[in-house]
Amino acid sequence: MEVTETLRQLGVTLAESADTDLVVHSPIDGSQIASLQCSTMVEVQASIAQAVEAFEVWRDVPAPKRGELIRLFGNALRTCKEPLARLVTVENGKILEEGRGEVQEMIDICDFAVGLSRQLYGLTIASERLEHAMQENWLPLGPIGVITAFNFPVAVWSWNAAIALVCGDPVVWKPSEKTPLTALACQAIFAQACAQFSHTTGQAIPKGLVHVLLGGADVGDWLVTDQRLPLISATGSCRMGKIIGPKVAARLGRSLLELGGNNAAVVSDKADLDVAFQSILFGAVGTCGQRCTTIRRVIAQERIYNTVFERLKTAYQSIAAHQIGNPLDAGTLVGPLIDHAAFAAMQSALQAAREQGGSVLFGERLLATSYPHAYYVTPALVQIPSQVDIVRAETFAPILYVIPYTRLDEAIAVHNEVPQGLSSAIFTTDLRQAEYFKRRSDCGIVNVNIGTSGAEIGGAFGGEKDTGGGRESGSDAWKNYMRRQTSTTYYGTAKPTLAQGIRFDVG
């Protein structure tokens, strides 16, 4: 797969060392593509210390100048889009078209952050006291820790990094141990942007503005428990978030958690089914079901339930027959699962679905002869009469449960009856149904006549309940990376008054 050449194009040279403890495999064929060294505790401590020093310099750089660095980074990503997309595909298995989309998302957030660098607005507040001026200011927060998952190995980091950097914060990044090469590539591309910034502006970039630390949960834990990182932004499973959240809270730090999703699409009997199926198919099988926004449940009105299921069955048969395979190949729609553990979890969930009354179609392993060390599967379709326990659990794999409903309020109750609350959708041509659903979905994202996947960076991304409550990108998510300060100034010449009319006369 010529990984070395792709890395070279991106400016990454892997150091030769006999002392390696992080072996990287491609899910495409299970082959080893790199062997790296995990960061030690000493290295983590030193990186955080360097980020603290960088903060003292970067916080005083005017925000529009910080935005200029992100503009250059976005341009560097445009130049490197194709090799970086290819590396994403090789390292995490999503099809090349999705890899390109992920890098484009990085470019888009850079554009967004550049504009934002001139819009970090505070407030002027009317004071109750004569000749007093009140302001609300937003100031850089400090170095932030970012922990990302394998399924979006570069985009989610960029959501945090682009905005954090224009806000004045250095970034210490711990990528998934399954996808470290893409992180090293991003660091190299960012270094190119820093060099260009220094050349064109004459201003040096402080050393250690962006760090990449490699390793497993222990490295992440060192970040989570370090008082010098006022914010930890973590993307991963609900289980992971329930470990990280209390640890950060124990030191009175902030956490921004983007966790799991058990997303549903309600299909009304007033839906345009041609519109619905295009969105449902991508939402259910894209990235081999390994998105937090994957459609995992279709809740279909009983009058059209059989039609919906049969159309899905036909589409799944077509995908299984022709469009599962090497994600670097043209025409492939579904690549592999990330590893054997994901395959085992999928098979366990399908067995539980059978035992709990579901009828399972597809879901078997494919291409085992061609790729004995990789895990390709046919996306599974489960016909099930009600939302049983296994349906309420998120399985990070392409399993789609199809459940009937009678009334819309019943469908919404089923929709909301899961621990997660990330993304939701309804397919209907009835405006009243659409608005009713939008106001009652308990998710952070709600869509009408489009699927649950494919969020744009202009909107805040995140969810409720076990999804963690965090919001990244869009809207006012920049406030996560800053601290709010209220300031009052007395500009008069007489004796200033106290708030609430308090009198405190001395002498």
Token pair 């060192």: residue = 222
Half-sphere exposure of 349 (CA within 13 A, CB side): 27
Residue spans of alpha helices (H) in 93-216: 96-116, 155-167, 180-201
Q: Which of 159, 161, 156 is nearest to 145 (CA)?
A: 161
**Set 80, 186, 194, 292: catalytic member:** 292
Calpha distance 6→81 (Å, rounded): 11
Active-site annotation holds for 288: no
Residue spans of alpha helices (H) in 207-300: 217-224, 238-250, 273-285
Please, which residues bridge with residue 132 across strands? 490
Calpha distance 71→477 (Å, rounded): 19
| Residue 289, number of CB atoms within 10 A of its CB | 25
Active-site annotation holds for 292: yes
**Set 258, 394, 443, 472: catalytic member:** 258
For 284-343, the three-class secondary structure string (H helix, E strand, C coil) is HHHHHHCCCCCEEEEEEECCCHHHHHHHHHHHHHHHHHHCECCCCCCCCCECCECCHHHH
Calpha distance 233→157 (Å, rounded): 9
Per-residue tokens: 288:
């081999």
User: Is the CB of residue 31 less than 8 Å from the CB of residue 90?
Assistant: no
| 171 three-class SS | strand
Per the rule left: phi > 0, alpha: psi between -120 and 50, beta: everything else, 443 is beta
Residue numbers annotated as active site: 258, 292
